[in-house]
Amino acid sequence: MGVRNTILNIEGLKVHFDTLDGTSRVLDGVELSVREGEVVGLVGETGCGKSITAKTILRSLPVPPGRIIEGEILFLGDNLLELSREEGHQVMSKKMSYIPQDPMTSLNPVFSVGEEMGDLIRWHGRRRLGPLELMGLRRKHDNSIAKAVELLDRVKIPAPREIIRRYPVELSGGMRQRVLIAMALIGYSSLLIADEPTTALDVTIQKGILELIEEKVKEEELSVLYITHNLGVARRLCDRIYVMYAGTIAETAKTQDLLDNPKHPYTSGLISSIPKLTGDEFKGIDGRIPDYIDPPSGCRFHPRCPEVMEICEQEKPELVKVGGGRLVACHLFSTGGES
């Protein structure tokens, strides 16, 4: 496929939350990149900071209590964190798109599907509307409804002409998620961020939505950052996977390499916790995600790590290249660990 441009590159992103009990150091130097046409998975246990990472990219991190300490998010050449609120919003809303986690709460309950989609199609990417446009008095003579129908058709919604008149309350969770995917396609131009788009759905419906996303990703050659706690889902969709643990990237590699030959002990643990992938009995990893207010010293994984060494308690491992485009943050592979 040749060398492709990097569209998103995150370097050393640190995000803290101020709580009454103290500062919660959630993201502790996240490194991540997405190239054009690439589907990248961000995988980790619930609470590892995946969604915070997505929220920070999408500028919907609640500040306060959240605080961006340092790092940069380069998106198509702009450092999103240095842009003003308005500029950033402009870049983001024009070029990024988003599929949310919970379809039940992600559609405005008092507007019909067609109303909201129509406005998105009509005004997409405009930061502000003039007063007449705002009052709906000046609507471009457009084919936004026809387009909405077409989009709903593309996400395999039966009877789309009927659905655009419906309100969210009349639609099932799966239907709503399809509508949201259709909406995301309106806004899509460079990067799609999907934040666990199937977790809130019934298992039977999950499959259909996943197939739909898989199909759309291939058909439309989307660049995607797909966030999930499910390594199996990531395996189906992603070209490359980032494994995240407690606010840090543990490892990244091409999907097949990562699954065949995990380097980081945490990755191995994750893989062995999926019975389908190994055929073995469910093993899992002992312990749970650490406290972010008082995180473990050194490597945040060390209290749970089966191969813990002395250095792991003292020094935080850097992400280092281990060949084949792979990066691992573990003292087993860093020069310090080997010596």
The contact set with another protein (CB under 8 A) reads 20-21, 58, 60, 62, 89, 92-94, 96-98, 100, 102, 105-112, 116, 119-120, 123-129, 134, 136, 167, 169-170, 180, 183-184, 186-187
Buried b (16+ CB within 10 A) or exposed e, 36-63: eebbbbbbbbebbbbbbbbbbbbbebee
Given a contact cutoff of 8 angstroms between Cβ atoms, the answer to whether 34 and 225 are in contact is yes
CA angle 239, 242, 244 (to 5 degrees): 155
* Minimum distance from residue 166 beta carbon to another protein (Å): 9
In the bound state with another protein, the residue whose beta carbon lies nearer, of 46 and 256, is 46
In the bound state with another protein, the residue whose beta carbon lies nearer, of 134 and 146, is 134
The distance from CA 257 to its chain's CA centroid, rounded to whole angstroms, is: 21
* Minimum distance from residue 111 beta carbon to another protein (Å): 7
Q: Which residues contact residue 72 at a Cβ distance below 8 angstroms, ignoring those fewer than 6 apart?
A: 10, 11, 12, 13, 79, 81, 82
Given a contact cutoff of 8 angstroms between Cβ atoms, the answer to whether 323 and 243 are in contact is no
In the bound state with another protein, the residue whose beta carbon lies nearer, of 33 and 51, is 51
- The region that residue 227 occupies, defined by phi over 0 for left and psi between -120 and 50 for alpha, beta otherwise, is beta
In the bound state with another protein, the residue whose beta carbon lies nearer, of 287 and 306, is 287
In the bound state with another protein, the residue whose beta carbon lies nearer, of 36 and 116, is 116
* Minimum distance from residue 167 beta carbon to another protein (Å): 4
* Minimum distance from residue 107 beta carbon to another protein (Å): 6
* Minimum distance from residue 127 beta carbon to another protein (Å): 6
